[in-house]
Copies of this chain bind each other. A is one copy, B any other.
Amino acid sequence: MQRMSDAIRETLRALPHFHGLDLELFERVVVCAESRTFARGDMIFLHGEEARAFFVVRAGSVRVYRATPDGREQVVHHLRAGQSFAEPAVLSLGRYPVNAIALESRTELVAVDSRFVELLKQEPRLSVAIVSSLSMRLLGLVERIEELAITSAPARLAHYLLKLPAKDADRHLVVQLPLAKKDLASHLAIAPETLSRLLRRWQDRGLIRSKGKTLELLDTRILLAIADRDE
């Protein structure tokens, strides 16, 4: 079990929350954590459930979303390796306000349970780090809200593509979609058909080249104009 424990350490150490923590204190955090594995489609927690732990993604990916009365869902977050979620539920709310589902088979999470809250109350160094990282989370959500407030579908998509981490190829950018297109559509609050049509139109106009999840952005100037058009 020592190897398992090392994996937990590695995952937690990389988290902004625990940057610069001395070893002794860090070990007291590690004690609160355990590793859990999920299959594709497994629910990690449900809206309204008692919040016993927050999570860090070690492998795979997770969708955090809110279900709406008519059965559709709005994505709040997509999480990949190294990212954490559900801290507020544990630290303050007591219940999960959203749903979380594993998107890939062999999605591995580190669960940090409520003993961590006790630690927090005693250790100012720890809580300052948490305050700071919750603040960052807040800003992220504000940006997400701004994205969604962009009314036109093309502007939302262009905005999204330009924010993706890109590799420079000669004279243009190459990006990888981190999601299946249907999930991306849901993230952008548009129909999958619309996403498909937009990509095709832009490809016909020579703005992009699209092959599976790999996109080449050939004319960022025009894409920028589209993103700004009505944001």
Inter-chain CA distance A137–B137, complex, in Å, is 11
Contact A70 B230 (CB under 8 A): yes
Docked complex: A104-147 residues within 8 A CB-CB of B: 120-125, 127-128, 130-139, 141-142, 144-146
Q: Which residues of chain B have C-beta atoms less than 8 A from A76's C-beta? A: 142, 145-146
The number of times this chain is found in the oligomer is 2
Task: Tell whether A68 pairs with B148 under 8 Å between CB atoms, given A124-B124, A131-B92.
Answer: no
Interface: A231 (CB within 8 A): yes
Contact A151 B92 (CB under 8 A): no
Interface: A199 (CB within 8 A): no
Interface: A165 (CB within 8 A): no
CB distance from A216 to the nearest CB of B (A): 24
Task: Tell whether A231 pairs with B74 under 8 Å between CB atoms, given A134-B134, A135-B134.
Answer: yes
Interface: A88 (CB within 8 A): yes
Task: Tell whether A121 pairs with B124 under 8 Å between CB atoms, given A69-B228, A92-B131, A131-B92.
Answer: yes
Chain A residues within 8 Å of B, Cβ to Cβ: 66, 68-70, 74, 76, 87-89, 91-93, 97-98, 120-125, 127-128, 130-139, 141-142, 144-146, 148-151, 189, 228-231
* A–B complex contacts, Cβ < 8 Å, 9 sampled: A70-B229, A76-B142, A120-B131, A122-B124, A127-B127, A127-B128, A134-B134, A134-B135, A144-B145
